[in-house]
Chains A and B, each alone.
Chain A
Amino acid sequence: EADIYQTPRYLVIGTGKKITLECSQTMGHDKMYWYQQDPGMELHLIHYSYGVNSTEKGDLSSESTVSRIRTEHFPLTLESARPSHTSQYLCASRVPLPGNTIYFGEGSWLTVV
């Protein structure tokens, strides 16, 4: 298993609150990703980063934002949480070589009430 960490693992928060999901990896990977997964469904890419100060949106539209100020850190922020944001958010990373494996964190399960 890879050294990629997400906090919090579980969060219940009220509508309108601002939340940040943390993701850190100690492998020195340049490429990092955020996937969103609804229960029992497939994963969808919502954000990715090639390296420091590089962020791009994925193919699933998301109201969240990300930043990449340090190689090892790729936090995801929701400025104003809504019940529709209830989902699991999975952070991942890999080395920038063709075909290299993407490693996932344990996920952050967000419930907005």
Chain B
Amino acid sequence: AQTVTQSQPEMSVQEAETVTLSCTYDTSESDYYLFWYKQPPSRQMILVIRQEAYKQQNATENRFSVNFQKAAKSFSLKISDSQLGDAAMYFCAYRSGSMSNFGNEKLTFGTGTRLTIIP
């Protein structure tokens, strides 16, 4: 079974600074997808960024980028120029690329990192 570990329950960063959130995962599969989701206080889960395991290039979305280390099974999220609106719970998630019915359906989540932005 796949597991996702976020070892930082809470992080804080000064506004306009850069912060990196850690995520490691465990899997025996070679084909899978990784996601970072953001859950602000309004509680709607919003996709921040996604990475396909077969792609070597790290995904980037504006101020958000990942450092995907497939061999190390590490998938960290870097937020540059932090803004007050970035304050939220951030979840790392894994989904199998297997075409078996159930494996492809389930998102396995980490326990989350609560990010606080200091004005």
Q: State the A residues within 8 Å of B (CB).
A: 1, 31, 33, 35, 40-45, 48, 50, 56, 58-59, 88, 90, 92, 98-99, 101-107, 109
Contact = CB atoms under 8 A, between A and B. Distances in A.
B45 A101 contact: no
A13 B47 CA distance: 31
A50 B47 CA distance: 21
Interface residues of B, number: 26
A43 B104 contact: no
Interface stretch (B11-19, B68-76, B78-86, B109-117): B109-117
9 contacts: A42-B111, A48-B105, A56-B101, A56-B105, A58-B106, A99-B52, A101-B47, A102-B95, A109-B43
A67 B106 CA distance: 19
Interface of B: 4, 33, 35, 37, 42-47, 50, 52, 91, 95, 97, 99, 101-102, 104-107, 109-112
A33 B47 CA distance: 16
